Amino acid sequence: MKQSTGEFFIGQKAFIINEEKVLILKRNKSDGLSGMWDFPGGRLDFGESLSKGLRREVLEESGLEILKISSPLSITTFFPLNNRSKQTIRIIYLCKASGKVKLSKEHNEYKWIAPGSFLDYDYPDSDYNTAFEKFIREEKNYEEFLGNGILKESQEYLNSQPSD
């Protein structure tokens, strides 16, 4: 079996629903995706739980605090076109959040859009469309879909963390 020489990441995005609108952010960086629309989120840091990583990234990029994280709307693996030695598993979760949007330097604009208008915006890839399409199919039941949230930390993970 050939040994891998590339890098592997887990990226998480929050499909934040608020009063039947979805938050999208316009990318500001010159990483080849400038001007594309995105969901808040980013890479998981080593040793970080899925829940804490998503909450941290959303707070950093949007100023919002995640209240609930539900089942994934989409799970994909991809290799960036500009660097095929990096693999990312991206998970897009349906989320509820609170607070006022305050953008980081990574984004220069945000919008709350009706889910049905998602095709009016350019996203990095079709995985974003998949998330919108799944949400639209489940929209009538999204409060039930959100439920009490998921991504609870395991007791083993909590026990391994230093106490504050």
- The predicted-structure confidence for 10-61, as pLDDT tens digits, reads as follows 999 999 998 889 999 999 866 667 789 999 999 999 989 899 999 999 999 9
pLDDT for 46 equals 92
Of 52, 73, 89, nearest to 146 (Cα)?
73
Domain-embedded: residue 1: no
Residue 135 or 83, more confident: 135
CATH of the domain at 134: 3.90.79.10
Q: What is the CA radius of gyration of the chain?
A: 16
CB 124 within 8 A of CB 130: no
- Strand spans (E) along 19-164: 21-27, 37-38, 41-43, 65-78, 86-98, 107-113
pLDDT for 79 equals 82
Of 13, 51, 12, 46, nearest to 153 (Cα)?
51
- Measure CA 127 to chain center: 11
User: Average pLDDT, whole number, for the chain?
Assistant: 84
The whole domain housing 47 covers 7-160
The predicted model gives 120-138 an average pLDDT of 89
Euclidean distance between CA atoms 80 and 108, whole angstroms: 22
Number of separate domains in the chain: 1
Domain-embedded: residue 2: no
Domain-embedded: residue 58: yes
